[in-house]
Structure 1
Amino acid sequence: MTLLEFNGPGLNEEQWKTVRTVATQLKPHQALWLSGYFAGLADAGRPDAAHLLPAGLDPAPVAAAAPVRTLTILYGSETGNGKGVATRLAEAARAAGFAPVLADMADYKPRRLKEEQDLLIVASTHGEGAPPTSAAGFFEFVESRKAPKLEGLRYAVLALGDSTYEFFCGAGRRIDERLAELGAERLHPRIDCDVDYDDPAAGWIETAVGLLAPPRAVAATPAASLAVSAATAYDKRNPFPAIVIENLALTGRGSSKETRHIELSLEGSGLSFAPGDALGIVPRNDPALVESLLSALDLSGAEPLTLKGEATTLSEALGGVLEITAATPRFLDQWAEVTGSTELKDLTGDARSAFLRENHVIDIVRRFPVRGVDAAALAAGLRPLQPRLYSIASSATTVPDEVHLTVSTVQYALNGEERFGVASGQFSRRAAPETVLPVYVQENPRFRLPAGDAPIIMIGAGTGVAPYRAFLQEREAQGADGRAWLFFGERNFDSDFLYQTEWQGFLKDGVLSRMNVAFSRDGAQKTYVQHRLQEEARDVYAWLEEGAHLYVCGDGAKLAPDVHRALLTIVTEQSGRGKAAAEEYLAALQESRRYQIDVY
């Protein structure tokens, strides 16, 4: 007998039929809410409770309970960190007896804010103080004149960000200040978290849940039990040791950049992914950089160190635990304290930001040396080394037990030395076949192929083409007949036409219907994908009118805004309805998830 076959204590056949009918129509989060709702009705002992229950179900009379406030948890997440924290927050609230509604800002109707009573928000910041792309509409409404007054609403905000950016936790700060302006009561002060957010987030969750009104007791129910799904054994906290199968240069001789194709084995991992998802890589720092840092500090690396209760050595911590490349405000403050340097202490505003951009940790240590510094004092200024996310460039249906990546090597000169990105440098120089790399899958439900054979338009530049390789592999494996159109941009045709042979094969087989390319450095005038879009304006608009799904992947600072402006121009001109109508048209595409963006 399954949980759904057990008819519960005292329910007759008609009552149980009603319960089963309702239960099979609910989503997991709705079932959880309803379980708390029914428990609340039972606790309240209200005389009018009967008419609120499904027909045939009567609440048992019990002692009255104090009214409880509704609780909604909203998150805005770019890479999944915000969603993960919000999910843990919801779990903590349920464990405390609440029945929270958990929602992505992208799916939440902001006009409902005036109906909320208690609101907990987890807001990630994208780039220079912006909200996540998927949460842009929510922020636009809340910060507009349309936003309602929110007297009676209690709220708290947990902000996630990266202190290497000037507008650290800008999105969280904006929503926190705006809710206060609208008359809401701040339940708990905002906490701004850097990339090592686990501990402060856990403390905020505990405090915020504790400050909520005492909940009604929520009994465990079959629906609640069924809503809990088993998590994979391998995740961000417990990555899978994947073996490098292949590591090839995609760019040709004479290219001004390096882009690599990486294949990793997931055999035995149990990890699954869908086209559009990302792979998290847990990198290690360059051993040469570790040695340079130890030499500049006159340390051996054998110095003992304790990090989060774990005993290690300084050398191991610098190699794979701490971020030792980009300098942060935290490191600058700590090093100013260690060295006593008035020059460092006096850095403020734009001068401080410029100094951090122009100097890595190694540069600061060399310029302001302290011989034999205490290992703990050094570590106190360094953040934990963070995973790097890469769009998956393969379909699990086509190549099971493998995952493919398209990685552009970050390489540049700084202070007279060649510098590399942490993870991309590892791929470029220290990830030969048989190398083991810790990995995990980061789901991206907001970048998905449509069901069936709906037409798709894919726009990407450079490594932004990676998920489209996965899309087309998946469509070919599934035998989908839908039309597909790819717009691809890079620097030079001869050296940078990534996966050229594969695209030609997809075109020949009909998996890819059309392809337009833009190589910006091949002509006297630079041409980008947005220019190719505008050249095909009539057909692009026709595809959209025929139900095409639109995808943009690549640089968030340039590509996505430029493409959006081009699309706005296309819709304005082709529809003949004006710019305001065109903006509404694209907004409607985004709301219906026919216009999806994945940027970095």
Structure 2
Amino acid sequence: MQLQVINSPFNEEQVKLLNSLLSTLTENQKMWLSGYLAYQQTTNSPLQEAPEMLPPNTEQVASKEVTILFGSQTGNAQGLAENMSGRLKEQGFQVTLSSMNEFKPNRIKKVQNLLILVSTHGEGDPPDTALSFYEFLNSKRAPQLTDLRFSVLSLGDSSYEFFCQTGKDFDKRLEELGGKRLSPRTDCDLDYDEPAEEWFEGVLTSLSETDSTEKQISSLASMETKAANEQASYSRTNPFKAEILENINLNGRGSNKETRHLELSLEESNLEFEPGDSLGIYPENDPALVDLLIWEMNWNPDEMVKVNKQGDTRSLRNALISNYEITVLTKPLLEKAAELFSSNDLHGLLASGNEEELRTYIEGRDLLDLVRDFALKEVPSSTFLSILRKIPARLYSIASSLRANPDEVHLTIGAVRYEAHGRDRTGVCSVQCAERAQPGDVLPVFIQKNQNFRLPANPDTPIIMIGPGTGVAPFRAFLQEREELEAEGKSWLFFGDQHFVTDFLYQVEWQQWLKNGVLTKMDVAFSRDTEEKVYVQDRIKENSQELYQWLEDGAIVYICGDEKRMAHDVHETLITVIEQEGQMSREQAEAYIAEMQQQKRYQRDVY
């Protein structure tokens, strides 16, 4: 483009000089010159005095671009991704951070450095937010990625057969498409903090190879030390000891269930949360079970043992109560136990290759069963502890709004009790809360953010909430929040349990919200009150026409509770409703649901 003298503020000689200069400039130089002229206008600084305004292709501008994609169901992968993004930016990297469902798959062709952090959901399935990107990469539309460098951090639970399967699938597929690994994949169990940190350090080393690696890592360590000194905030690794204010049984006399309503104090914690978030609790094992295990192994309960890499010690009994998981068996644990003990039966079980037989043995058994069934004796306690994993936190959907209940957090916890293999069993955290946690006691807690289960930003948006049993917990928080905000949007709750008289959780509160209009509509299903069992999905079918109209009006659907049965059945019912009322094919109804997910109008908090 040439400047013209007509209508120009420049004289003819200046125009010639400018045209002569502009014809020699690159696009980057033109952009820089534009910025410099704006800068000079405000500062009157000559050219040589503005070194910070160097062209984009100079060494002072970070040349390394990193894309971080996360797929998260409960928020763990997202939290790690956000933390690592911030740390990379501190090191001068240009970082693009995105949830997988918000990332346009075709952009993958332009990515050079890719970090994937993803959890595995259910029986080896991708989390909801990772599904569309996962399907794209495994389709014929996926491009060759020969210029891509990548690394995968996968989160999972080794008590499940398909441990970290989604991360393994991503890692394998990216290699098949031509990508090269920045650093090997790391598979994390429930206690993921240390392996995730080691993975990040390995990734950082690879990313920094051309930029003085030692300087980068040294700077990172300095930054982390500074952050640790400046901020002692409560978190997953530094839980807050929350006092129990109330602990009430919500079920009536004669119920088959025991559902505890806990109110905890967060005073002086500075912890904040939003409706949809979860509270993590670090539980304690049942002391009676610990005593049986110690007796069976002929250990000294007062022996002092190390409980972490820092060398902290406590008595063996206290360590087994507070530090180690003893109620769940996993295949990795059995393999490690086989290396410690000379048990032909245990070796035979593992060597048979019969995965179904192994799953059958593991299900419903604990560490005491293992040592009894295979006569695992005569091993020092410290050696045995070395093969156990740390006791994981239990996550519970928060049942209160911080706006409505400042400095408090409420939970709805169903006590788990059952009989298996000739012994009575109990849920570690749920029965601790039901039987041993009293008002005045404290529980170590932290907030688990869940950006994938959120009220709409627009309070006028209608919402549909489906939560049988304890799955109703977050919807109590939703309505408390909407009441505080005086939201005008319609709301519809589907709730179900066994009996109306004994199991209608928070009945008075729902009725009050119906009366004052915070809750527009409520449908309930009590499965054991009628000869033919009725569930929430049956109530959805009965209201199919109205429900479909709510969807067409932009309503957001929320599902919370059991994944294997309830959430699956509700999902199928919604597809059926959309098929019938929208006069669509099965494929079109599934696409309708997929589009809702993409728009964050179909959100699930299932377990």
TM-score (norm 1): 0.86
- Shift of residue 492 of structure 1? 1.8
Q: Using the alignment, how far apart are the partners of 2:176 and 2:110 within structure 1?
A: 17
Q: Using the alignment, how far apart are the partners of 2:33 and 2:477 within structure 1?
A: 46
Matched, 1:55 2:61: no
Q: Using the alignment, how far apart are the partners of 1:581 and 1:540 within structure 2?
A: 18
Letter in 1 for 2:366: H
User: What does residue 308 of structure 1 align with?
Assistant: 309
Which of 418, 422, 430 pairs up with 2:428?
A: 422
Matched, 1:402 2:408: yes
Spell out the pairing of 1:62-461 with structure 2 (5 A cutoff): 65=59, 68=63, 70-212=65-207, 214=209, 233-306=233-306, 307-309=308-310, 310-348=312-350, 349-450=355-456, 451-461=458-468
- Shift of residue 270 of structure 1? 1.4
Which of 512, 521, 530 pairs up with 2:519?
A: 512
User: What does residue 570 of structure 2 align with?
Assistant: 563
Which of 533, 547, 572 pairs up with 2:579?
A: 572
Letter in 2 for 1:56: G
Describe the SS at the equivalent of 1:560.
helix
Q: Quickly say closer, same or farther: Cα 1:51–1:573, change in 2 above 3 A.
A: farther
Q: Using the alignment, how far apart are the partners of 1:438 and 1:147 within structure 2?
A: 45
Q: Deviations over 1:272-312 (max 9, x none)?
A: 11111111111111111111111111112222222212222
Describe the SS at the equivalent of 1:126.
coil
Describe the SS at the equivalent of 2:356.
helix
Q: Using the alignment, how far apart are the partners of 1:265 and 1:420 within structure 2?
A: 26
Letter in 1 for 2:279: L
User: What does residue 471 of structure 1 align with?
Assistant: 478
- Tell whether the 8 Å contact from 1:280 to 1:390 is kept in structure 2 after alignment: yes
Q: Using the alignment, how far apart are the partners of 1:261 and 1:84 within structure 2?
A: 28
Q: Using the alignment, how far apart are the partners of 1:267 and 1:259 within structure 2?
A: 25
Higher mean C-alpha deviation, range 429-438 or range 63-72? 63-72
Q: Using the alignment, how far apart are the partners of 1:54 and 1:378 within structure 2?
A: 68
Higher mean C-alpha deviation, range 471-480 or range 68-77? 68-77
List structure 1 runs of 4+ shifted beyond 6 angstroms. 215-220
- Tell whether the 8 Å contact from 1:517 to 1:529 is kept in structure 2 after alignment: yes
- Shift of residue 127 of structure 1? 2.1
Letter in 2 for 1:80: G
- Shift of residue 370 of structure 1? 4.4
- Shift of residue 478 of structure 1? 1.8
Q: Using the alignment, how far apart are the partners of 2:334 and 2:420 within structure 1?
A: 18
- Tell whether the 8 Å contact from 2:364 to 2:420 is kept in structure 1 after alignment: yes
- Shift of residue 132 of structure 1? 1.5
Q: Using the alignment, how far apart are the partners of 2:143 and 2:534 within structure 1?
A: 45
- Tell whether the 8 Å contact from 1:162 to 1:194 is kept in structure 2 after alignment: yes
- Tell whether the 8 Å contact from 1:70 to 1:118 is kept in structure 2 after alignment: yes
Describe the SS at the equivalent of 2:160.
coil
Report the identity percentage: 46
Alignment coverage as a number of residue pairs: 549
- Shift of residue 337 of structure 1? 2.3
Provide the alpha-carbon RMSD of the alignment.
2.6
- Tell whether the 8 Å contact from 1:232 to 1:271 is kept in structure 2 after alignment: no
- Shift of residue 383 of structure 1? 0.5
Structure (1 or 2) with the larger CA radius of gyration: 2
Q: Using the alignment, how far apart are the partners of 1:574 and 1:396 within structure 2?
A: 39
Q: Quickly say closer, same or farther: Cα 1:48–1:470, change in 2 above 3 A.
A: same
User: What does residue 43 of structure 2 align with?
Assistant: none
- Shift of residue 188 of structure 1? 2.7
- Tell whether the 8 Å contact from 2:62 to 2:93 is kept in structure 1 after alignment: no
Describe the SS at the equivalent of 2:184.
strand
Letter in 2 for 1:146: R
- Tell whether the 8 Å contact from 2:400 to 2:477 is kept in structure 1 after alignment: yes
TM-score (norm 2): 0.85
Higher mean C-alpha deviation, range 480-489 or range 102-111? 102-111
Q: Quickly say closer, same or farther: Cα 1:464–1:99, change in 2 above 3 A.
A: same
